[in-house]
Structure 1
Amino acid sequence: MIQSRYLFISREGKVVKIARPKDHKYKSVLRLAGEDVLEVILYYRNKDRKPHKLLMVEFDRFHLDSQGNYKQTEEDRKRAIHNFLSFGMVDLFEGAEVEDKPLPIPVAPIIPTSAEKRLLYDYINEKLPNFSDDAPYVVESRIKSVEEKYEEFKSMAKRSKKPSK
């Protein structure tokens, strides 16, 4: 069975496990109130009801309010799926005149800093030792994948702005 674990990593070096959000609303994390955090979602497979194998990781970044709350807004959700909605089907229509306007600028991916990655690896080594061997590969593969996809989207947007002959 595939499970997920949510973490917040603060700029001050705190890693906090949080409850899975319900209806895009996160539970309050008072000790991180007023801070910018990196959200990390770990997707993993269980074996004998224990975390066994890390499959994928996702990142997001946002600011917690003075009570340590973050509620995802409609604008946040649109930003999160902007690239998919803007570029997801472009390949199907390549070469065909779909619209007469250029593609929008793609949203840059959320990439953890070296310090945030180190904190994440330390957390995994301590709390989820079964993931220790795979974590660097999974994290770096994900980062490389989103960076390559972003470059592809930028290239598509640039090509769409050139006037056709």
Structure 2
Amino acid sequence: MKLLILDRDGVINLDSDEYIKSLDEWIPIPSAIAAIARLSRAGWTVAVATNQSGIARGYYDLATLESMHARLRQLVAEQGGEVGLIVHCPHGPDDGCDCRKPKPGMLQRIGEHYGIPLAGVWFVGDSRGDLDAALAVDCQPVLVKTGKGQRTLEKPLPEGTLVFDDLAAVATHLLT
């Protein structure tokens, strides 16, 4: 199985320091949607692991989050692709869960769901927390410059981190 795991906000859709609180605020990066569809059509399984502390903060509810993910699936399907498992952490930063990145819980759930070891699987994110979560389960950390990626580049990255302009560049690399 060819598995690629993605962070959501800043990788698939535009990010906001004010949180993405509604379907109207969930604005996909067009090249990212096309990249997911291209990967899927080429036999890749594309899963998503996303921190969503806005739920714990009361900014939006689970139904709103599910509507965003339904829209993501619809947009990718319109281009002939499919999105695999989407897992989210609804907890706040101080809730002590094991799923909120940089902790590895969501990535472990994806690996268990597909029944594969995560060693070497690419995890694409835009923050240091994403990169640290990848390292915690021996995934290949991949940083994109979209979202918070440029800000993340201002500090040292974990050794071995791959850097791409955006998800489209990641897809092109994986498909050539």
Using the size of structure 2 for normalisation, the TM-score is: 0.27
Q: Which has the higher strand share?
A: 1
Structure showing greater radius of gyration is: 1
Q: Which has the higher helix share?
A: 1
Higher-RCO chain (CA-CA 8 Å, sequence separation at least 6): 2
